[in-house]
Structure 1
């Protein structure tokens, strides 16, 4: 088994996992997806219909072909359009603080909220949100807040057909429903990366899909 020294931020991931786990367990709004493979939760009506409409308009103004650290749009791995929302906008600030409070994580550890838009045929193939520490980009990300701990992702609209978030190893497909917030722990209870958080944005078949995502680090994000 890998030692703590070989898994960067392992202790920090374990500690934040314990804190968030206890906070979510005490919140009656929170539904836990029934699986032992990963910690995945949902909160209905987390974002109001009017807020969803405003956020979708914001996404339309910033959306550009989505990028990955080691692949570009042309690979077809991630074919959505995305962009960071204005962190100074009062609504964006309010949503960010609402997510911070739900999880009990200091907002300084959060990355900028990113909006994503998927047209028919667009998708995000199976991936994990945590950083692969053997890759070159980790040298930079380690200095910018370290490993990703929790992911928060909100659906902003209902999708006519397709566009589910598919947790491949868990065997759960989450249908997009406007206002629903999904959160999951990218680590196991001991702080090591959880391979079972592998997930995909399945292709949209009819309609358009809008989501926003906020990732949290183990330290202040910069």
Structure 2
């Protein structure tokens, strides 16, 4: 599948462009949001998004729900994604508060957000370079289109400081972001015109010492279910 084909077959392009406008305007007005100085992708950082109590609680929940991480690929490359992952219950009061704050930060309806997903990485574990948006010529697209459509923005927060390794690397644009407990990283998976942004290719590099806990939340273009 080619990059051109992916761009031309995306039925949510207009909705992605509108979501981009909403979030971009919201974050650009927020003094707590810092846009990384790169032109090829819209990436923002927000420090101190989570307090220590929230981080400790979420790490405990992740340890309870974590299972080997799935992938959308039918035949993923060897050791492509080796972390542990689990959805954090949406009805949890702590999660509901975080969801409300994320929605307020981005200006997107909370209903567009997928369940908060927790991830845990031990030494040697990683998630090789991938995009968060969906390829529309795959076996899974029809199901995801029914469930809320294309992914627009990604929000990822670090729950702990990592002893060594575990950076988030945007491999095509040469940006490497080290873990920082409590901070949030947000990026637009589309270009301004709503087409998928191939420059958002990113990887969770292997943890070298200690453990890494994060949560990730993806927003769609309409209510997710």
Structure 2 residue ranges without an equivalent (≥5): none
Q: Which of the numbers 167, 174, 177 marks the counterpart of 1:174?
A: 177
Compute the displacement of 1:70 (Å): 2.0
Q: Indicate if the aligned counterparts of 1:37 and 1:170 stay in contact, CA closer than 8 A.
A: yes
3-state SS of the aligned residue for 1:24?
helix
Q: Which residue of 2 aligns with 1:40?
A: 43
Q: TM-score, normalised by structure 2?
A: 0.95
- How many pairs does the alignment contain? 222
3-state SS of the aligned residue for 2:213?
strand
Q: Which residue of 1 aligns with 2:147?
A: 144
How many angstroms apart in 2 are the aligned matches of 1:170 and 1:50?
34
Structure 1 residue ranges without an equivalent (≥5): none
Q: Which residue of 2 aligns with 1:16?
A: 19
Q: Which residue of 2 aligns with 1:95?
A: 98
Against the structure 1 CA distance between its residues 156 and 40, is the aligned structure 2 distance closer, same or farther, given a 3 Å change threshold?
same
Q: Which residue of 1 aligns with 2:53?
A: 50
2:83 pairs with 1:83? no
Against the structure 1 CA distance between its residues 61 and 4, is the aligned structure 2 distance closer, same or farther, given a 3 Å change threshold?
closer
Compute the displacement of 1:8 (Å): 1.3
2:104 pairs with 1:104? no
CA deviations 1:68-91 (Å, max 9, x no partner) are 122478931000000000111100
Q: Indicate if the aligned counterparts of 1:73 and 1:79 stay in contact, CA closer than 8 A.
A: no
Q: Which residue of 2 aligns with 1:119?
A: 122
Q: Which residue of 2 aligns with 1:26?
A: 29
Against the structure 1 CA distance between its residues 40 and 74, is the aligned structure 2 distance closer, same or farther, given a 3 Å change threshold?
closer
